A and B are shown apart, each in its own frame.
Chain A
Amino acid sequence: MFVHNLASPSQVGQGGLTRRWREHVTETEYRARRAMTTFVIRRLMQAVMVLFATSLIVFVAVYAIGDPLEILLPSDASETEKAQVARSLGLDLPLPVQYGRFLWAALHGDFGNSFVYNQPAMTVIFERLPATLELTITALLMSLLIGLPMGLWAGNRPGTMVDESIMTGSILGFSLPNFWQGMMLIMIFAVWLGWLPSTGRGEPGTIFGITTSFASWDGIRHLILPAINLSLGNMAVIIRLTRTGVQETLPLDFVKYARARGLSERRILMVHVMKIILIPIVTVIGIEFGTLVAFAVVTETIFAWPGVGKLIIDSISALDRPVVVAYILVMVTLFIAINLAVDVAYSLLDPRIRSRAT
């Protein structure tokens, strides 16, 4: 796009130049693509190393915390039962052997069975992941749809009452402890007003064979409070980011030119300024999404939301090692994938970064 605008062949209109331009573009594009491919491959290799290291650290860490047998067995279990369980779960083997077995099976796609549920760890996790994704995606959308306009509004009218109240509100948004805020939401909307339910997912509906809260009114009602609780902190971040972006961009020359051309303030803000400030926001959203999935645990606990956050806390208390290890590997993979996607998207959005890559 960049090159095309500066030296379009139709402007130059000479055969030789056109050919040179073509060669030039092909060469640049080729190099850019190759750079991108190398970049992606290198990142994937790093990802494999990270996953390997994570699995080792988590495996050893969970082993070091305590003995799952102490927790799994009832308090009147005998030594016979203890030995039987240790044998059947493979806990009687030395740690390196246990890890070796885990690694070998993991390379074949088997991450072991949960000690507690006796189901494949991945099944246990993926059974609960959709509920968490639903919650986090809703929270993310809410924080975007509310945070972005509020930030634009505040940034466009700095120093006014509106700006002051939005900024004060956003300070509350990320400084209130999540669990306390959740309890307040429950007290107000579920206990006093009785408008919204506060526990569980209700009766989710089914669309195209997928069970989701979005498909039934009851499901949506159950989703509202936890999603608000999860989105408030994020919303505050987006408001502040947008406001700063707007304030930094408005004094720039291109805005003055746009004004001089007689464009409406509305168009300047919504189209031209927006384009510039969206780039950092996209990056933040990518990172925040991963964080929301991984740390939805507080909200899930308070609202008894059957997601992975609750699972991981329970699994750590029960020292259910296969689930803990598999969960962390899934989360690491998610973070790596999001980061990669953000980096790629970033370079696609911003021509300057793309040209730097070559």
Chain B
Amino acid sequence: MKFLRRTALAALLAAAALPAHAADLTIGRASEQSSIDPQFSRTGNNQMTATMIFGRLADFDENLQMQPGLAESWKNIDPLTWEINLRTGVTFHDGSPFTADDVIFSLERTDEVPNSPAPFTDMVSAIGAMEKLDDHTIRITTNVPAPTLMEDIGRVFIVSKAATDGMTSDDFNSGKAAIGTGPYKFLSWSPNESLKLEGYDGYWGDKPDFKDVEIRFISNDAARVSALLSGAVDLIDAVPPEDIGWFAKTEGMNVVSTASGRVIYLGLSMREDQAPGVTDLEGNPLPENPFRDARVRKAISLMIDRELIVDRILGGSGIPAGQIGAPGLGGHADVLGPDGRDVEKAAELLAEAGYPDGFGITLSSSNNRFPGDADLVQALGQMLARGGLKVNGVEALPYNVYSKAATNGDYGAFVFSLGASTPTTAPLLLSLLHTYDKDAKKGSFNRVRFSDPEFDAALDVAMQEFDPAKRNALLADATVNVFAGEPVVPLYWQKVHWAMKAGLSIKGGLAEATLPQAVEKAE
């Protein structure tokens, strides 16, 4: 009796000591999702929000590396057959159990979401047939050998079949169908304003530090910074680089900075016989396109002082790049460093290529796509002028105008960026540097129309490799070989910053995600 009373008392005390909610957290986020339906669009903004509410077969950490998620393990029976074991004991937010039916339903729904502006189609295009062996085992047969199947279908968010069947994307926004297995339950979304979430007690993984979470969408940089300063929010993302030094010095504030997977590069168009904006010294068109000569591309790369750009234009918010895939991604070649500035070598290469006195060049860029893009292109213009080229002009345009023109091949030399959303560099290499082939769906962002059959073959071999470690090594080798010819001129990888009240910390990384489950109470 005495024991019972003592236990009851202890339990009561423990309950009193623990507050009802771990703590409240308000996040000021720069970007907003366009829908709560996790399969509606696979843009970064939408995936970020979906990761809070929904689970996936694979989990991707802050550096985009893959770990088991709703799939506990998987094995390759033969090149075309996969067997996937699902995690047991997982429940959806409505309490119903997660089973193989939900996975099959979700994968089938993936490319059928009406009017999706950015479908997950490619993620499931390799699937030939799916078979449910039991409630927690699925067998998938692929059309062609697909070594990256788990990376692909692992990215698809799993919805509840019972809650979603027959529902539209609108039903997700109202909350009716927004039933996932993720760490947070969806409460409400007021577009342009805020998203309210509540920690799910039945979540299978580690419970996040904060239970009641509000995410406010504040797109204006200055407004977001002032919201943190006035205490309206506890943490903000996408802190403008120029404010970082100030935040770091301020008492009661904490800054987290990490490299992102987004690379900024200078494209030199090899598309036409005459590159747009490229002239001789008198302003007349050149007889041939100088950018088709790898020595010219290398010379331009050697004229650029990447350290100076990062230091002066970005306030330190960048990491000089010598390739496309950021450090930390599978397939990044550690041996490949950024080019340093070497004007003499550049002059030698230009002379070898037949342009001892240089030639005229026009540089183009967006002016609202990433921090400092308009300043960057002006600095590049000055560096190329000092390197021995005649800069005819520099132009910076809004991204919505610029992107179409760049894709159409209207620019000879242009600054562009490419973000990473996968564990390896393969998709980046495939879309940026593989020979442009509309029918084979390769090289879709190869705006410069670089083409190297040897590289294409090496990439194909790597993509056929089932062993991830070997695949990464092959990707790294192919990268080293192709960058000997400077297919594009990599400039730097962006750094991203979060600022928060002292006592908080966030796990940030290449994924550039601002997730409430990644926010921790710092010691």
A positions within 8 Å CB-CB of B: 65-68, 70-82, 84-85, 88-89, 113, 115-119, 124, 127-128, 183, 186-187, 190-191, 194, 197-201, 301-304, 306-307, 310-311, 314, 316-319
Contacts and interface: CB of A to CB of B under 8 A. Distances in A.
Contacts of B418: 75
Contacts of B223: 186, 198-199, 301-304
Given A65-B400, A306-B190, A74 B226 contact: no
Contact of B431 (A76, A113, A302): A76
Nearest to B407: A70
A258 to B, nearest CB: 51
A128 B232 contact: no
A41 B73 CA distance: 72
Contact of A191 (B230, B427, B445): B230
A66 B403 contact: yes
- Nearest first, the 6 closest Cβ-Cβ pairs linking A and B are A306-B192, A190-B230, A70-B403, A66-B404, A306-B193, A72-B117
A186 B222 CA distance: 10
A187 B226 contact: yes
B394 to A, nearest CB: 20
Q: How large, as a class, is the contact surface on chain B?
A: 35 or more
Given A67-B407, A199-B28, A200-B194, A190 B226 contact: yes
Given A84-B121, A200-B193, A304-B220, A76 B428 contact: yes
Interface of B: 28, 34-35, 40-44, 111, 114-119, 121-122, 125, 169-170, 190-194, 216-220, 222-224, 226-227, 229-233, 368, 398-405, 407, 417-419, 421-422, 427-428, 431, 438, 441, 444-445
A128 B192 contact: yes
Contacts of B40: 118
15 contacts: A66-B405, A71-B403, A72-B117, A75-B418, A78-B122, A80-B122, A116-B34, A116-B117, A124-B191, A128-B192, A190-B230, A198-B226, A199-B226, A200-B216, A302-B223
B404 A128 contact: no
Nearest to A187: B226
Given A75-B431, A81-B121, A183 B404 contact: no
Contacts of A113: 115
A319 B119 contact: no
B445 to A, nearest CB: 7
Contacts of A304: 193, 216-220, 223-224, 227
Given A78-B122, A301-B223, 11 more contacts: A66-B401, A77-B122, A81-B118, A85-B118, A118-B114, A118-B169, A119-B170, A124-B191, A199-B226, A301-B219, A317-B399
B232 A197 contact: yes
A118 B421 CA distance: 24
Contact of A199 (B216, B399, B402): B216
Contacts of B216: 199-200, 304
Contacts of A75: 417-419, 431, 445
A81 B403 contact: no
Given A118-B115, A200-B216, A301-B223, A77 B404 contact: no
A72 B431 contact: no
Given A71-B400, A74-B42, A80-B441, A89 B230 contact: no
A206 to B, nearest CB: 14
